[in-house]
Structure 1
């Protein structure tokens, strides 16, 4: 087993957009003292970004189907210098979850599946509810849940009902991990909207926070109470809360809104099935559970935590091994050779995609062809051939696949399981005339 560091962030952005000068590195746990990546002490292996109340008007939804929403784009740009690739974004109205993985881990990504639960207006609307992404990394299953539960102080029973509906209403297709809590690791975060019980006024809560009495106030925290009573979320754990309430602030300043009772609405919970495997004990160690108070563009404050989990050591066996890709000629058809492990189940809908070498999202492919026989007529471009004696296969990309000189890479995607089975070396593409001139 080896360590794998997960960084999680939850933020209710209150339909606001990030400012052009906003620096996202502090809330991503990145050192801002230098622009050099060499000064960063420990870069996570994976980022989980869970947003709520991302602006969801029709024109925004149409735009976001074609491009990343402004928040996701900002995070992606901040992580790009550290070789992170966005592997998935799931959106249900204002709920947006994005996962970013270090490039070196991409070929160990398996079995991605998504589900969602609508809880707004009696389950008819997705302004409240949860979105979930499950996946397997280095042989361990993870489930990430981003929720936005029923608001208001007096709606505790509805929040408990939200939890039960999400937990029991989401059923994944993988039998061993059909339930959220059946996964090896679970990270459940979001705007839980749990408030403080009792009759404490807004001013009294603010005074308590100012006088360092957060621990006393937390005794009335509804989420802590329902976890203790077993009514909801009792299967999950939470790191000690050492930060002030994250809701509700006046936008742009550090003052709490006097019309609302401050509360710890924004939380990150976790769960591990430690004995999921024989002779192996899984574990999770959480650290740095905190709110980022200087980030003032919403009436909430972002909350983050780091989790070190244990995963299986990477195997040296390559499921799909690309033969070294030589120089690619721009504007011409080019053939790619690769080998597939004999025991690997492939599908006629598996595909091989071309990416720019510095790609930051698996959605940003330049071109693709289907990778497995039988698929199309041998006379058509994008055809596949197989050398039965060597186990080597080849695909041909058309002359229009790459139109610009530069550095590129290939990846093999399994259609059915949404897994990545292989990645090629970085190769150069150039027009034949320029390539010939370079050899002189």
Structure 2
């Protein structure tokens, strides 16, 4: 699982070259999930209205890069300028289920959403995951308020599931964002002097978040990797120099990524949980916002029993424009289906299941729920409605309305012109 957090200071997305360095996805050993936490995405009234219909510019820019590498935006949640994006590998979508989101306002005593938390929870491969993206109270003197907001967030967010009704019930929990913790009793000059690799240990002793965790004031059982990078706030916009304005903000490690393994109970299949952080770093060379993005990736143990998807497509060969093309698939016994289920045709690189299909047909509703064998079904796509981009690659996805998830993904194939 790879993830990054970035306070973007209401700026528009940078050029692709900058984002490519940040959205660091290698073709070899690429992550199965990719999580993005953004704070201070511009949220003027007309932009909030537009984002309810279309993706905001940051989501579009990041999705253009990530989805072209074979990922799909499995879920997202937004609270004013706070955004969380959860991407999954396209071929693994059928194994992601019970995806739910929630949010908590903490600004102005819980009335305003300029500060708060958004979360995505999901199950995959026998494990439950919860990703919490936050933007907490600012300023050095609000240390106690930040601690209180932690408890407010974990108490207020809930999900309609008996076994994981709240954040802390999940097997693996990730807490990332602009936590806004500062240094205690240090001036800007002192912090700047100590912001070098050989002196960071002094800053760690004065970091409010580490002091909170050590004193068990909040974030019980949460862990964090070694802070081996310089403070991520505050910089001159577009520069790699600390704040030189008359305010002279004291630099701090405001941007953090924490995790927690649920030690109270084992996972659903009775095996032990195991998580290893592979990388924890700041992209200090990204000259854009007044914050530097923070990046991390993790290796997480999941169930070794990988089931077949609930819907399995027969191999699809090249389809021709204007032909009639059968789509044959099988459905696992006991699978909930309905007349509102559908099979969509997608161009590889699409962003979301719900919005970015090329065409679709209604799936077959299975009425015999007692059959112990996989039920084979056949639907037809009319070539008249197929796209004319013959250089692109395509896949079929079965979307279950009643289960609100993808149950199956076909192999990749092409659409060609008539011979």
TM-score (norm 2): 0.89
- Superposition misfits of 4+ residues, deviation over 6 angstroms: 387-390
Shift in Å, 1:330: 3.9
Compute the RMSD of aligned alpha carbons: 2.7
Task: Give yes or no for the alignment of 1:294 onto 2:285.
Answer: yes
Task: Give yes or no for the alignment of 1:413 onto 2:417.
Answer: no
Unpaired runs of at least 5, structure 1: 1-5, 32-36, 376-386
Q: Which residue does 2:256 correspond to in 1?
A: 267
Q: Distance in 1 between matches of 2:269 and 2:141?
A: 45
Task: Give yes or no for the alignment of 1:365 onto 2:357.
Answer: yes
Q: Is contact 1:330-1:405 (8 Å) kept? A: no
Q: Identify the match of residue 392 of structure 1 among 376, 379, 388.
A: 376
Q: Is contact 1:226-1:234 (8 Å) kept? A: no
Q: Distance in 1 between matches of 2:183 and 2:34?
A: 30
Q: Which residue does 2:140 correspond to in 1?
A: 153
Task: Give yes or no for the alignment of 1:234 onto 2:220.
Answer: yes
The change in CA–CA distance for 1:160 and 1:85 in structure 2 (over 3 A counts) is: same
Q: Distance in 1 between matches of 2:349 and 2:228?
A: 39
Q: Which residue does 1:11 correspond to in 2?
A: 6
Q: Is contact 1:330-1:399 (8 Å) kept? A: yes
The change in CA–CA distance for 1:188 and 1:355 in structure 2 (over 3 A counts) is: same
The superposition leaves residues 160-185 of structure 1 with CA deviations (integer Å, 9 ceiling, x where unpaired) of 22111110101111110111111111
The superposition leaves residues 307-353 of structure 1 with CA deviations (integer Å, 9 ceiling, x where unpaired) of 10011236352311223445545456655332211122234433322
Q: Distance in 1 between matches of 2:21 and 2:320?
A: 43
Q: Which residue does 2:310 correspond to in 1?
A: 319
Q: Distance in 2 between matches of 1:408 and 1:195?
A: 48
Count of aligned pairs between the two proteins: 408
SS in 1 for 2:147: helix
Shift in Å, 1:405: 5.5
Q: Which residue does 1:93 correspond to in 2?
A: 80
Shift in Å, 1:72: 2.5
SS in 1 for 2:287: coil
Q: Is contact 1:112-1:417 (8 Å) kept? A: no
Show the 5 A alignment for 1:3-402. Answer: 6-20=1-15, 22-30=17-25, 37=27, 42-198=29-185, 200-210=186-196, 212-258=198-244, 259-273=248-262, 275-277=266-268, 279-313=270-304, 315-325=306-316, 328=319, 330-331=321-322, 335-362=326-353, 363-373=355-365, 391-397=375-381, 401-402=385-386
Shift in Å, 1:399: 6.8
TM-score (norm 1): 0.85
